[in-house]
Structure 1
Amino acid sequence: HVKYWGIGNEVYGPWQVGHCSAAEYAERLRQYTQFMKGVDPSIKVIAVGADNPDWDMTVLKHVGHLIDYISIHQYHGCDDYFGTVASVYYCEQRLKLLEGLIKHLRLDHVKISFDEWNIWYKISAERKGAEKRIVLLEEPYALKDGLFAAGIFAVMHRMANTVQMANLAQMVNALGMIKTKGDEMVLTPIYHAFDLFVNHTGRTVLDMAIGSETYEISSKTFVEGRNSFKLSEVPYVDGSATFNEDKNILSVALINYYQKDVEVSLDLSGIEVQKRAVQHVLTGSAPDEMNDFENPERIKLGSKELTSCSPEMTVKLDSMSANVIEFSLDGKL
């Protein structure tokens, strides 16, 4: 009863067991997929993508007719605030490049599995013992990293037709959005970004146009084979809109990357919203502010009631914040 099967992991890299060329991998993948789907035609197969057009094209050409997903991995982050949050749009560029390859080959049934993404740049310490080698991956996540995660959610909402699987790497302790020590637990800003989007947005993505000032930036990336990126027209304000059919709630997500409070004009013309709404907010006092075992709740979700909502309204966004505003369409919120 296992539905999803990833055939290999990052085999394009010499650090992986089974490292090989794209052509060799594609042939192995073809054999695995044919045999496995011969046993159970209902399974879904995820091919190893390399975020490299040559590799990805070779795999898609050879096995695209058999597979269901192709993967892509992205790790980012740096000490610079804008360098971290802008990397959201580098990820979007790479996802769109892979989407373009799929469309070029007319493999509309193949979707993208964004099956490793996170902030990872500070910690990769090793402890060597007589009989074992342990790699420690305890990344300390700050507010800027939570805003990166929120931005990734907005990107995935925009690309929901193609990016149909996504997995944070990882959940607990090893690059985890949850940290534990004994019977203690710390929820990081990345966890709270998940809380914000999982529990306060809907399952149906709506079109939303955003007008925002933009900036240009050059920064670093963790991605193998590339150590920098340059972007233009990076927005200071981004977001998405979704609908929860079960609760009849319109959710408008707005991320303010400015390091200042801003007011945004929201145009909901044609939508009959109630006068009352709830604004959920993830923010903090500094880009590098974080939760730890001594102060586990420095950063957490807050909420406030908006009592004068209308189809055309102004919303205040706190400095460096991710927000979801839930509008009831039947007055039951």
Structure 2
Amino acid sequence: MRTAQLTIDPAFSIGPADRRLFGSFVEHMGRCVYGGIYEPGHPNADSRGLRRDVLELTRELGVSVVRYPGGNFVSGYRWEDGVGPVGDRPRRLDLAWKTIETNAFGLDEFMTWAAEAGVEPMMAVNLGTRGVQEALDLLEYANHPGGTALSDLRRKHGAEDPYGVQLWCLGNEMDGPWQVGHKTADEYGRLAAEAARAMKMIDPSISLVACGSSNRRMPTFAAWEATVLEHTYEHVDYISAHTYYDPSDGDQASILASAVDMDNFITEVVATADHVAAKQRQKRKLKISFDEWNVWYESRLQADLDRRGWVEAPALIEDDFTAVDAVVVGDLLITLLRHADRVGVAAQAQLANVIAPIRTRNGGPAWRQSIFHPFALTARYARGTVLRTEPVSPRYDTKRYGDVPVLDTVAVHDEETGELTVFAVNRGSEDLPLDLDLRGLPGMSGLSFQSIAAGSDPSATNTEAEPDRVTPRELPTPTPDGGRCTVRLPAVSWSVLRFGPTGV
């Protein structure tokens, strides 16, 4: 049986594990809002219509920041439609998802929900069909203390104190021809720079995200980032990145290696940003906001859109995630952590129902999908400093990504508690012995070893009837001897191993 080796030393650090890496996304799409986080009349809803069962699962998931209200939806959205008395709000056509938007849930409701969930809001402004003035109006409504028309309107609507939103997205996927208000890189770059300059005149404390490419496969990828950043580099704090990985073709070997593509994507965006910085003599290093990522059976979307007319909150891309999908999501989180020095924000899309870790039934229960668990455990234990790992691993061949390592890892060391957490993925179809060398952190003992293994039942899913079919299982805790130990990673698995100072 092939063996892998991993040496961990705190001298080789990448950077802090920013809590903003554990973000999520709430878009007015399908049943993410209506029937997801918000369902007046549900037995578990509070007086404001917020589903308490979903709030509890959101807290358990460990979500730190939530992007809102889109997504493609934001490029045709009028934010003022979603504030004020609900009975006075207009019904609108949402061109992005071919639905009717009631606007019963809007900015004020989202901010109430975010406070209840304990998450930081990340707002997107419409630079598709709208522009600078509307972005300024939204910022004034949200963040200005009072004494102006829009800030006083917020107070009239019940929010005396400003919301103080710090993270703002300057539009969404403006490179995509599917986007309402799609623009060229020069058109978008100039508009984004104008909006950024003006928004920071109102609130200099905010951080702004410019739109990067919708995915690495776009024909304009890298050229788009370069042009947009030529316009915006000195005015923004992040460039966005989005990616989804589709398992529909059944190529398990390739889907398990999806993190290889994400890793390359991040490296190339960083290189492009640093090239623009060099040209402009910028000393500041721009970070990435990887604010849409997930596994998505994307080939199913068009059928969902084509089989109905204009309706309210239809079920859209409510994928049932498998045990293999959970392993892939865990590996994508490993990649985000491995780039903690340059990825400052990340948001898994989406939170509820729409390609989501949380599923619900209207009027019924909420449950955890398979992908819930690697996210929740990573958010819980990835605290401290991310350490650079260079595992020695066997390799295997894939159709999409060529020759890739069987093992993927990252480690996080909490200096305050002394605890060490190792996240590891075995992409192979056989168990993988892993020799761990922890002599750089002397005096460690094992705390726990949990794993989600898909090798025996790769298509297993969690459903309303069987909500706990795919969950982490406890494995024998390794006991280091002289700073070394060997563990066996199950076939096709994501694992988290925890160590702590002996006697603590």
Code of the residue aligned with 1:274 in structure 2: it is M
Distance 1:283 1:216 in 2: 21
Task: State the 1:259 CA deviation.
Answer: 1.5
Task: State the 1:244 CA deviation.
Answer: 2.0
2:166 maps to 3
* Cα pair distance change 1:64/1:261, threshold 3 Å: same
Task: State the 1:92 CA deviation.
Answer: 1.1
Considering fraction of residues, name the structure with more strand. Answer: 1
Distance 1:81 1:167 in 2: 24
* Cα pair distance change 1:236/1:246, threshold 3 Å: same
* Cα pair distance change 1:292/1:135, threshold 3 Å: closer
1:248 maps to 418
Task: State the 1:135 CA deviation.
Answer: 6.4
1:235 aligns with 2:405: yes
Task: State the 1:103 CA deviation.
Answer: 1.5
Contact 1:248/1:330 (<8 A) preserved: no
1:191 maps to 372
Contact 2:445/2:502 (<8 A) preserved: no
Once the two structures are superposed, the pairs formed by residues 51-200 of structure 1 within 5 Å of their partners are 51=216, 52-78=221-247, 79-106=250-277, 107=282, 108-121=284-297, 122-124=299-301, 125-126=304-305, 127-129=307-309, 134=314, 136-181=316-361, 182-200=363-381
SS in 1 for 2:460: coil
Task: State the 1:130 CA deviation.
Answer: 5.8
Code of the residue aligned with 2:308 in structure 1: it is K
The match for 1:281 among 439, 444, 451 is: 451
Task: State the 1:303 CA deviation.
Answer: 2.1
* Cα pair distance change 1:330/1:16, threshold 3 Å: same
List gaps (5 residues or longer) in structure 1. 220-230
Distance 2:471 2:393 in 1: 26
Task: State the 1:129 CA deviation.
Answer: 3.2
TM-score, with normalisation over the residues of structure 1? 0.91
Q: Quick check: 182-191 or 130-139, which moved more? A: 130-139
Code of the residue aligned with 1:6 in structure 2: it is C
Distance 1:307 1:96 in 2: 34
SS in 2 for 1:128: coil
Considering fraction of residues, name the structure with more helix. Answer: 2
Contact 1:280/1:323 (<8 A) preserved: yes
SS in 2 for 1:265: strand
Code of the residue aligned with 2:259 in structure 1: it is V
Distance 2:353 2:241 in 1: 23
Code of the residue aligned with 1:113 in structure 2: it is S
- Pairwise CA RMSD: 1.8
* Cα pair distance change 1:8/1:130, threshold 3 Å: closer
Contact 1:73/1:114 (<8 A) preserved: yes
Superposed CA deviations along residues 205-237 of structure 1, whole A, max 9, x for unmatched, are 012220111123223xxxxxxxxxxx2331111
Task: State the 1:273 CA deviation.
Answer: 3.3
Distance 1:86 1:159 in 2: 17
Distance 2:372 2:310 in 1: 36
Code of the residue aligned with 1:283 in structure 2: it is A
Code of the residue aligned with 2:309 in structure 1: it is G
1:299 maps to 470
Distance 2:451 2:246 in 1: 22
Distance 1:85 1:187 in 2: 21
* Cα pair distance change 1:150/1:130, threshold 3 Å: closer
Distance 1:189 1:134 in 2: 23
Contact 1:273/1:327 (<8 A) preserved: no
2:189 maps to 26
* Greater relative CO (CA pairs within 8 A, separation 6+): 2
The match for 1:314 among 470, 481, 486 is: 486
Distance 1:329 1:279 in 2: 16
SS in 1 for 2:470: coil
Distance 2:425 2:285 in 1: 32
Paired residues in the alignment total 321
Task: State the 1:320 CA deviation.
Answer: 1.4
Rg larger for: 2
Distance 2:191 2:225 in 1: 15
Distance 2:448 2:312 in 1: 52
Task: State the 1:119 CA deviation.
Answer: 1.0
SS in 1 for 2:351: coil
Code of the residue aligned with 1:216 in structure 2: it is D
Superposed CA deviations along residues 134-173 of structure 1, whole A, max 9, x for unmatched, are 4611111111111111111111121111011110000110
Query: Percent identical across equivalent pairs?
Result: 30
SS in 2 for 1:239: strand
Q: Quick check: 260-269 or 272-281, which moved more? A: 272-281
1:206 aligns with 2:387: yes
Distance 2:320 2:257 in 1: 19
Runs of 4+ more than 4 Å apart: 130-135
Code of the residue aligned with 1:62 in structure 2: it is H
Distance 1:293 1:134 in 2: 19
Code of the residue aligned with 2:290 in structure 1: it is F
Task: State the 1:14 CA deviation.
Answer: 2.3
Contact 2:274/2:285 (<8 A) preserved: no
The match for 1:45 among 205, 208, 213 is: 208
Task: State the 1:49 CA deviation.
Answer: 0.4
